[in-house]
Amino acid sequence: MLYSAVFRKLTYTGLPLLAASFIVNSAEVDETMVVTATQSETPWLTTAASIDRVDVSDTLPSLNIDAGDALAGVAGIQADNRYNYAQDTRLVVRGFGSRAAFGVRGLQLNVDGIPLSMPDGQAQTSSIFLDSIESLEVLRGPLATLYGNAGGGVVEWFSRKPRETALKWGGQFSENDTQRYNLNAQWATENKQLQILASDFQTDGPRRHNSAERQQQAVRWYHQWNEQNRFVIRYDNNNAPLLQDPSALTPEDWREDPTQTVQRAIDFNTRKDIHHRQGSFSWFHERENGEGLLSLWQGDRDVEQFLPFAGDDNTSSGAVLDISRQFEGAHARWRQIGTRWSATVGAQVERQQDHRFGYVNNSGEKGELRRNEFNWIENTSAYLRFQWQLSKEWSANGGVRYSSINYEVKDYFTELDNSDDSGSRDFSETTTALALTWQFLPTSATYLSVGQGFETPTLTELAYRNQGSGLNRDLGPSTNDQWEWGIKHQLPQNWRLHFAFFGIRSEDEILVDQSNNGRTTYRNASETKREGAELTAEGELTQTLNVLLSYSYIDATFGAGPLQGNQLPGVAKSQGYLRLNWQPAEQWLVQLAGQYRNETPVNDQNSTFAPSYTTWDIAASRSWQWSKSELDTWIRIDNITDKDYVGAVVVNQGSGRSFEPAVGRQASVGISWRRRF
């Protein structure tokens, strides 16, 4: 039957909360279809949450240097491309994460089940080897609070497992002397697979003092030991020896010339270099009535960053940051499957150690020592998640999670003023979530979910305060209460429709207090409120034309105090996305994507807004196959109307440099050759 085919196609992978047994009735024929979902297969229709899966093959081809490209069409996500490789992409989900001065906050990021987020909640998407990614999933709403101390949601990337022995070489090229080369060598048998990946990227960037270099290598080993046990070993090496920082612009400078660079960035030679290494081991055990997972990971990350000021005051922490980080963790869980229920219990332990130095910036050279301290963080958690099929049409799921996070700082630098900035902070919280689903038609379901969230500040957010040095002891965790109501339809021609409405009330939300010359301090807001709606529609208009349409609206405001009613900075009220994929012939694919974003406030007072914009991108791909070889080429033009717009904003920037310029019209091409053996 047609519905069965559609239903089987729209399954989702990886997110263990959603794994359960479902019974689906079809009114069209007298048949009951039973889907026993495991870790790798869960029906989308009866999932009581906003969850979207993105197949990378459906997105526009790209240079594979920005993880936000694939997330552009996901409702509820605001992917801020700073076009500044020193700061990385910022992801904002329903307002969470907008405070991030660099990288990602407020979200849990995973790659193949291994946390990309550090134990303190900080993450950088540039560590992902995008050439190996096959798909990704985004979970948002109350049920996401069961995944850790991040209220916004979960973004999980899934690698492409080798299916045959092959060798692939590729190159991508764009303006500003941007070039990237990549190699993918893989070997596969029935129960063993090995993959080796490497890439080299360099660019002069669209602005002066915007150059970047990055080399990545990765190894993946997959072993199906027997019918019940399989193992995955991963190792990633990401080395970025040069990431220049041209800094953001004031609104006036941006309107005058969005391609210019702040003179202070030149004077102090602002830049960053990063070396990130991480290895992991995962053991999957499956039985007829349950499945288990044991994951272990360890890594280190070295960062050196030059900020655009001297930092030579006696009470300053310096303006050259030198951080050496080690981190490790373990995660174990077991899911028991009954006739009409399933339950998952698990525990996770993570540790992080930072040796943090600060030096004076002598016009781009490392000067005198101003900071020497050791930071420890330990994050332990335990959780229970369940699913219960109440009847043929009704199901319930939810869970509880306990988290305990401990911070400790030991100050070894007391020479100048004999002050000791050592200190510690302990946070703990129990979060819960509950959801109910009613499948009122074979192709339609509605759900209601509620939950409580908990989010702690990161070590970087605790590291600085407005006056003096040392731990920001006034900064505490944030808590939130969330609800979501949604309705889903799964129709012929692979159509998928989803409407979601949500509300979030946060206490003590972590927000930017001040951002000056690249150094950011944080504070807790007394109360914030978010209410919004999301729409996603995806399906086939014809046999050769596929469409994806998404729209997001969020009213994110301060709920109390003198700022009551003001929009939260960094959060646009509305966004829209349209993508058309047209395949006129088997070897051809033509894609058109348009993105709209409403104006975005840059400060608490809402005195300045980045203007709204609409941009369009177009791409065409062509492939040739003969014997055991395959040649793929593509061409893409971004911002085909050459629109001047702001890619991201710096929240509460003290000097007014709050606009991070996007690029104008830009062309890029790619070519790859693959040989099977």
Judged by DSSP in three states, 480 sits in: strand
What is the token pair recorded at 558?
């301060």
Q: Is the pTM of this model over 0.85?
A: yes
Q: Are 480 and 453 in contact (CB under 8 A)?
A: yes
What CATH code is carried by the domain that includes residue 559? 2.40.170.20
Greatest C-alpha distance within the chain: 82
Judged by DSSP in three states, 550 sits in: strand
Average pLDDT over residues 208-218: 97
Q: Name the band, by pLDDT with cuts 50, 70 and 90, for residue 137.
A: very high
- Which residues span the domain enclosing 583? 2-676
Q: Which of 96-105, 270-279, 290-299, 398-407 has the lowest mean pLDDT?
A: 96-105
Per the model's pLDDT, the better-predicted residue between 476 and 302 turns out to be 302
Say yes or no to pLDDT of 513 above 60: yes
Distance CA 570, CA 580 (A): 29
Is the torsion defined by CA of 17, 22, 28, 29 positive or negative? positive
Instruction: Give percent of the chain above pLDDT 70.
Output: 91
Judged by DSSP in three states, 321 sits in: strand
Distance CA 454, CA 146 (A): 9
Distance CA 521, CA 182 (A): 39
Return the pLDDT at 543: 92
Per the model's pLDDT, the better-predicted residue between 619 and 13 turns out to be 619
Say yes or no to pLDDT of 187 above 90: yes
Q: Rounded mean pLDDT of the chain?
A: 89
| Residues ≥6 apart with Cβ < 8 Å to 98 | 78, 90, 92, 568, 569, 570, 571, 651
Distance CA 47, CA 542 (A): 28
Q: Are 157 and 111 in contact (CB under 8 A)?
A: yes
Say yes or no to pLDDT of 17 above 70: no
Judged by DSSP in three states, 194 sits in: strand
Q: Total structural domains in the chain?
A: 1
Average pLDDT over residues 222-234: 96
Q: Are 523 and 511 in contact (CB under 8 A)?
A: yes
Say yes or no to pLDDT of 467 above 90: no
- Please choose, from the candidates 241, 379, 353, the residue with its C-alpha nearest in 3D space to the C-alpha of residue 299: 353
Return the pLDDT at 151: 64
CA distances from 277 to 114, 182, 298, 328, 500 (A): 14, 19, 9, 12, 39
Q: Are 151 and 145 in contact (CB under 8 A)?
A: yes
Q: Name the band, by pLDDT with cuts 50, 70 and 90, for residue 13.
A: very low
What is the token pair recorded at 145?
């609070």
- 656 burial type by CB count under 10 A (0-12 exposed, 13-18 middle, 19+ buried): middle
Q: Name the band, by pLDDT with cuts 50, 70 and 90, for residue 469.
A: low
Instruction: Give percent of the chain above pLDDT 90.
Output: 73
- In tens, the pLDDT along 411-446 reads 888 766 657 778 888 889 999 999 999 999 999 999
Q: Which residues pair with 336 in a beta bridge?
A: 290, 343
- In tens, the pLDDT along 622-631 reads 999 999 999 9
Say yes or no to pLDDT of 38 above 60: no
- Please choose, from the candidates 116, 131, 307, the residue with its C-alpha nearest in 3D space to the C-alpha of residue 215: 131
Cβ-count burial 300-326 (b if 16+ within 10 Å, e if not):
ebebbbbbbbbbeeeebbbbbbbbbbe
- In tens, the pLDDT along 161-181 reads 999 999 999 999 999 999 999
Concatenating the DSSP letter of every residue in 340-407 gives: SEEEEEEEEEEEEEEEEEEEEEETTEEEEEEEEEEEEEEEEEEEEEEEEE-SSSEEEEEEEEEEEEEE
Angle made by CA atoms 635, 124, 77, in degrees to the nearest 5:
65
Q: Name the band, by pLDDT with cuts 50, 70 and 90, for residue 459.
A: confident
- In tens, the pLDDT along 247-277 reads 999 999 999 999 999 999 999 999 999 999 9
Average pLDDT over residues 55-77: 94
Return the pLDDT at 314: 79
Average pLDDT over residues 73-100: 91
Q: Are 470 and 421 in contact (CB under 8 A)?
A: yes
Distance CA 498, CA 12 (A): 15
Say yes or no to pLDDT of 18 above 70: no
Say yes or no to pLDDT of 560 above 90: no
Cβ-count burial 140-165 (b if 16+ within 10 Å, e if not):
bbbbbbbbbbbbbbbbbbbbbebeee
- Tokens 């033009």 sit at which residue? 637
Say yes or no to pLDDT of 507 above 70: yes
Distance CA 40, CA 171 (A): 32
Concatenating the DSSP letter of every residue in 103-129 gives: SB-SSEEEETTEE-S-TTS-B-GGGS-
- Please choose, from the candidates 575, 451, 567, the residue with its C-alpha nearest in 3D space to the C-alpha of residue 98: 567
Say yes or no to pLDDT of 20 above 50: no
- Tokens 């000791």 sit at which residue? 420
Helix (H) or strand (E) holding 2: helix 2-9
- In tens, the pLDDT along 68-85 reads 899 989 999 999 998 999
Judged by DSSP in three states, 135 sits in: strand
Binning the chain into helix, strand and coil, the percentages to the nearest 5 are: 5, 60, 35
Average pLDDT over residues 539-552: 96
Helix (H) or strand (E) holding 330: strand 320-337
Say yes or no to pLDDT of 337 above 60: yes
Say yes or no to pLDDT of 113 above 50: yes
Distance CA 524, CA 27 (A): 52
What is the token pair recorded at 113?
């089940």
CB atoms within 10 A of CB 487: 15
Return the pLDDT at 42: 62
- In tens, the pLDDT along 280-291 reads 999 999 999 999
Alpha helices in 134-282 (DSSP H): 251-256, 263-267
Q: Name the band, by pLDDT with cuts 50, 70 and 90, for residue 154.
A: very high
Say yes or no to pLDDT of 14 above 80: no
Q: Name the band, by pLDDT with cuts 50, 70 and 90, for residue 460.
A: confident
